[in-house]
Each structure stands twice: as C-alpha cells, then as structure tokens.
Amino acid sequence: MANQSCDTLILILGDQLDATNPALVKARRHRDRVLMIECEQESTHVWTHKHRIALFLSAMRHYAQALRDDGWTVEYRDLTNGINDIAQGLADAIKALRPARVCVVQPGEWRLLEDMRVTCRAADIPLEVCEDCHFFVTNDEFASWARGRKQLTMEYFYREQRRRFDVLMDDGEPVGGEWNYDKENRASFGRKGPQGLPTPPAFAPDSTTQAVITTVNERFPNHPGCLDNFAWPVTREEALQALSAFVEQRLPLYGRYQDAMWQGEPFLFHALLASSMNLKLLNPREVIDAAVAAWQSKPDLYPLASVEGFVRQILGWREFIRGIYWQEMPGYKALNHFSHEHPLPEWFWSGNTDMNCLRQTIGDTIRNGYAHHIQRLMIIGNYATLAGLAPTQVCDWFLSVYVDAVEWVELPNTLGMALHGDGGIVGSKPYVASGAYIKRMSNYCNDCRYTTTQRSGEDACPFNALYWDFLHRHRDSLSRTPRMRMVLKNLDRWDRQEIEAIKKRAADHRGAS
C-alpha cells in the first residue's frame, strides 16, 4: 500500500461504475485518488450467488483498468488483501493515504452509507456524499412529491416524470392518448408456446473475468450457482451491445408477453438490462432514448404498448422504488405487516420441490442468477406471501440470488411489491393469486403432480389452499383494502367444512415445507 498523502480519496463502489460518476467529475487526476475495495462481507452477509459475485468483481476490475487507462491513480484492494468489509478497507486507506477528505456518490444501501459516516467520523476527516445523478429523480425531489400525499401511487408519480422529462409526450398529452397500456401487456403464449424467440447475447469471459471466476470458485465454493455459464455483460461496451440486442430483437414483443411464463425459457422477451443499469454500466436515459427512438423510427414494428411498458418500468417503477427506499429506511427493512414468521424452506436453495412452477423458477434462478419479473412476483413472491414466510428471510434470499439485486431496488420490490409486507406503502394490494392464474399464464402446470382444479386433498395445487387460507387468516386487515373486497366475498361461498379442509391442507403444506 502506498504511503503517500492525497487530496481527495474517491471511493467507488461496485454498483457505481459509470464513467460520469459525479465524484470523479469534479476530481483532479494529479492530486486525487480512486479507492475500490473487494471484500468478503459483500459476498457473505447474504449467501450470494456466484454469478452475482463474479459480475460485481469482474465489472469492478474492468472499470478500474479503464480508469487507469484514463490517467487515474486507482488504489484497488482485491480479495487477497483480506479486507472483511468496506468500512475496514476505507479506514485502512485513510490511514495509509492521509487524504484531506473522502468523496463518494450516495451508495445503494443505507447500511453502507452509515458505515462510511462512522468510519470518517472516527478518522476525523470530512465525508462528502454526492447526489447520484444516474437517477432521474433526486431523493429531495421524491420527498417533496410524496409530502402530503395519503397514498404514494406509482402511476401518478410516473405521469409526472413523463411530463417533466418529456418522454412519450405529444404537446403536453401522452402519445396515443393513454398514459398506461398495461391492459395490452398481459398475454399468455397459448398452447404453442413462444414463437420466434431470439437468443439473448452471451458475453464470453475474457481473461479478467476468467481470473474472477477462478477466485470465486476457490473462495466461495459452496455458494449457490455455477459459473460455467457466466455470460453477463461486465463492461460498458458489452452492456451497450446487450441494449442494442434487446431493442432490435425483443422489445417489439416485450410488452405483450411481459407477464407470460414458459418452462425451459428463462429469458423470453425480457430486457436483461437490470444488472447493467444497476451497476451503472448503462444510464437509464440512454436506455429509454433507445427504446423511444426505435418506436419513432419504426412504429409498425414497435407497438406503443411495448415501448410505454418498458419506459414505465424504468422512469416509473425504478425511480419510484428508489424514492421509497430512501424515504422509508432504516425502519422499512423490519416491517412485517402480516406478522409472517414461517422460515424459508430449505428447497429455496435447490428448487427441490414437487411444485413444478417453483421448481422451474428457482431452478432458473440457481442456474442463471436470474428469473424474470413475473416469475419473481407471481411464483416466488406469491408463494412466500401465501405460505407466510418471514419477510426478512425472503428479502435476504432475493438480495443474494439475483445478479441485478442492490438493496435500494431489491428491498421495496420484495418487501413492498411482492410480499405486501410494508402494509401498502409500495402497492395498494397484495399480489396474490391461486394456481388458476399460474395455469393461465404458463405451461408449468402441465408437468406438475398437482392439479389446479382442486382446493383441498392430496393432489390439490398448494397455491389454491394457501390462497384461500391467506384470505381467511387476514380477512380483517384485507377488507380495509378496497381492491380486495370483491375477492373476499368469494370466501362466503365456502361452507365451514370447506374452509376447514382448506385450512388443514394449508397447514399440512406449511408443516411439510
């Protein structure tokens, strides 16, 4: 470690890999230094998937090299330095380099920001936290939008951002006359399954990534996943190729089949860009611009519903979710609206369950470090809510297994949207459904030992009994949600005997899980 003082020590984290990182923009190459830290704890505080570890480490190493090539002095601490956590790495670097100040862009995790503040306070040097310009909406702007609103509704937030940033707008009105084409984004594939499915681009590991793969296999051998199929983009150039491939090949049908699932097809028409955006290899503005430009140049090929659906995910959901995270943390993480405490089943780490939809979805997750949005929401999240799994364990699992998971995006999506564990801060009602929904939207049920036409009995789809049992158990609190009242009325159709059979089936299932 060099024993030389510097002016500003610029700490760059593994999810801050944009060339326009605001901490770099105002720094000076000849006086300031960049610090990047690989540490054990970031891979072990949740039992992180090997693809996620390899993606972060490889992208960090490529980024560090690009900075060096650009004339920066990079103090890069790799895993061989034996640093346990970011705070320790920062404290050691402050001691060695004696900077006048530390500068960092606001991290994507509340815990890390606190650690940095404590570390710099202990070292008695100022910590400058820069606004994260990667996002469209600052935390202050979100707070002022949220102030005074009884319910934070993504749709209204989204419309405001469309107007503000002039995206898909025509003379102050939404193009096509509607703000939201979600109704057109719910098709299933039908009996024949997906047709003309393009193969998503795969990025062969270069020597840097190969070295990372070797390290991950040596240091984290028992972590989930296998790196033989690692092919995620790890540089900006690769991320740009992934963006082009998505826009050219999958965006036209992205919207229509957004909610559809198909066994053996883990990627379908999904964008596969979240990991690149969340590491900041891609900027959300260029991603939106690429989709809108494609629609403008070839409106016959790109349905407005597809492009609007994609824009809504980025300019709407992604920004909304981040605003919620910083507004509600740190208390948000401990919320447990339904007081669910059932432990995460062991088979979440293997997919070894006879429920085929979960076996396939968790299998895809373990194989690829990825499952698409509707698998995460309506298979895994739906099951976790209905089965009453403890939200902290479910959230930790989601954070550990997906390549695109960073806490600011993972936590509100899992706790709020998938589990309704925040009691309605993110979504106005729980996303829960019985087996009939899964049968309609996928072909998983064709290869399952259970049947969706029964609610109780040995062969009944567990989602059915769990669904009605969930509604029955939480009837009082759910009845305060207007959008749930209609479905709760269905409970009145079952006589006492039927309700008891459902409760028994649900209890037996939980007992065996």
C-alpha closest to that of 401 among 420, 383, 414, 387:
414
398, 383 contact by CB (below 8 A): no
User: 317-340: b or e for each residue (b if 16 or more CB lie within 10 Å)?
Assistant: bbbbbbbbbbbbbeebbebebbeb
Residues numbered 449 to 508 that lie near ligand SF4 (CB under 6 A) are 450, 452, 461-463
Query: Least distance in Å: CB of 143 to ligand SF4?
Result: 41
Contacts of 29 (CB under 8 A, 6+ apart): 71, 72, 73
Query: Least distance in Å: CB of 474 to ligand SF4?
Result: 21
**Interface pattern 137-166 for ligand SF4 (x via CB under 6 A):** ------------------------------
- Strand order of the sheet with strand 8-11? 74-77, 33-37, 8-11, 101-105, 127-130
179, 162 contact by CB (below 8 A): yes
Beta bridge partners of 169: 174
Query: Least distance in Å: CB of 379 to ligand SF4?
Result: 8
Query: Least distance in Å: CB of 510 to ligand SF4?
Result: 15
Q: Between 137 and 355, whose beta carbon lies closer to ligand SF4?
A: 355
**Interface pattern 405-444 for ligand SF4 (x via CB under 6 A):** ------------------------------x--xx----x
From 47-55, 79-87, 237-245, 447-455, span contacting ligand SF4 (CB under 6 A)? 447-455
Phi, psi of 175 (to 5 degrees): -60, 145
Residues numbered 203 to 222 that lie near ligand SF4 (CB under 6 A) are none
Q: Between 63 and 467, whose beta carbon lies closer to ligand SF4?
A: 467
Report CA-CA distances (Å) from 233 to 227, 230, 280, 461: 14, 9, 12, 38
Report CA-CA distances (Å) from 212 to 61, 130, 253, 288, 393: 9, 30, 35, 31, 28
Q: How far apart are CA 338 and CA 343, in angstroms?
A: 14
445 binds ligand SF4 (CB under 6 A): yes
Q: Between 89 and 462, whose beta carbon lies closer to ligand SF4?
A: 462
Q: How far apart are CA 495 and CA 404, in angstroms?
A: 45
Q: How far apart are CA 147 and CA 278, in angstroms?
A: 27
Q: Between 59 and 466, whose beta carbon lies closer to ligand SF4?
A: 466
Torsion of CA 162, 164, 169, 172, to 10 degrees: 130
User: 192-228: b or e for each residue (b if 16 or more CB lie within 10 Å)?
Assistant: eeeeebeebbebebeebbeebbebbeeebeebbbebe
Q: Between 406 and 438, whose beta carbon lies closer to ligand SF4?
A: 438
C-alpha closest to that of 104 among 182, 31, 36:
36
Query: Least distance in Å: CB of 487 to ligand SF4?
Result: 18
Q: Which amino acid is at 453?
A: T
Q: Between 266 and 462, whose beta carbon lies closer to ligand SF4?
A: 462
Number of residues counted as binding ligand SF4 (CB under 6 A): 14
Which of 448, 465, 478, 502 touches ligand SF4 (CB under 6 A)? 448
Q: How far apart are CA 473 and CA 466, in angstroms?
A: 10
Residues numbered 92 to 121 that lie near ligand SF4 (CB under 6 A) are none
Neighbours of 284 (CB within 10 A): 19
Residues numbered 238 to 257 that lie near ligand SF4 (CB under 6 A) are none
Query: Least distance in Å: CB of 448 to ligand SF4?
Result: 3
Q: Between 136 and 444, whose beta carbon lies closer to ligand SF4?
A: 444
Query: Least distance in Å: CB of 346 to ligand SF4?
Result: 18
Query: Least distance in Å: CB of 328 to ligand SF4?
Result: 32
Q: Between 180 and 451, whose beta carbon lies closer to ligand SF4?
A: 451
Query: Least distance in Å: CB of 263 to ligand SF4?
Result: 9
Q: How far apart are CA 426 and CA 446, in angstroms?
A: 34
Query: Least distance in Å: CB of 383 to ligand SF4?
Result: 9
Residues numbered 268 to 287 that lie near ligand SF4 (CB under 6 A) are none
Q: Between 161 and 434, whose beta carbon lies closer to ligand SF4?
A: 434
Q: Tokens at residue 345, please?
A: 């089943």
Q: Between 102 and 362, whose beta carbon lies closer to ligand SF4?
A: 362
Task: Work out the angle between the directed axes of helices 110-123 and 86-97 (0-180°, nearest 10).
Answer: 30
Query: Least distance in Å: CB of 463 to ligand SF4?
Result: 5
Q: Between 96 and 344, whose beta carbon lies closer to ligand SF4?
A: 344
Residues numbered 334 to 373 that lie near ligand SF4 (CB under 6 A) are 355-357
Binding footprint of ligand SF4 on the chain (CB under 6 A):
355-357, 435, 438-439, 444-445, 448, 450, 452, 461-463
